[in-house]
Amino acid sequence: MKATPLVIPDVLLIEPKVFGDERGFFFESYNKTNFDGAVGRAVDFVQDNHSRSVKGVLRGLHYQLPPKQQGKLVRVVHGEIFDVAVDIRQGSPTFGQWVSQILSADNKKQLWIPEGFAHGFLTLSDTAEVLYKATNFYAPDLDRSIAWNEPAINIDWPSGVEPILSEKDKKACLLKDAEVL
């Protein structure tokens, strides 16, 4: 496994070692010892989530408040997404900044998004299935959203894809009005 810090160094691009031949491929999608070593601390995942989305579905920017903040290890098993993490940690030198990666079933890359970040993605392929491990259980009373098109964050979403939003995401707030960590 190769772990590469992104521009916001707490967010890591995880690239597993893939063994492939004419029969197909094999890789470890998660190994606790290797992952904890890459992150620099013990991480305990308590919940696995699986979503399926059609092209244009934009989910996010989601996060949970303390004491139920979630770190997420995100990967795609079918299709392709534009995955985004936004730093919402008060006092962080990268507060309000974002990083992104294209994650796909083909490239098998994963994104580690630690606690203190909002997360979202845009489905680029006709359909995409996204799996992510979470460090805390879903807590609806502490679940929050920041608007995907928040001008203060200014995410450079891929052009040519009209976002399809949930009612929750249509009502998401601006960063200045968000309860941040």
Q: Catalytic positions, please?
A: 62, 132
Q: Cα–Cα distances in Å, from 42 out to 6, 88, 139?
A: 20, 22, 22
In whole angstroms, give the CA distance from residue 46 to residue 34.
Answer: 18
- Largest separation between any pair of C-alpha atoms in the chain: 53
Q: Both tokens of residue 60?
A: 């996010």
Strand partners, 177: none
Token pair of 162, please?
Answer: 């009209």
Give the type of residue at 119. H
Residue 155 in 3-state DSSP? Answer: coil
Amino acid residing at 111:
L
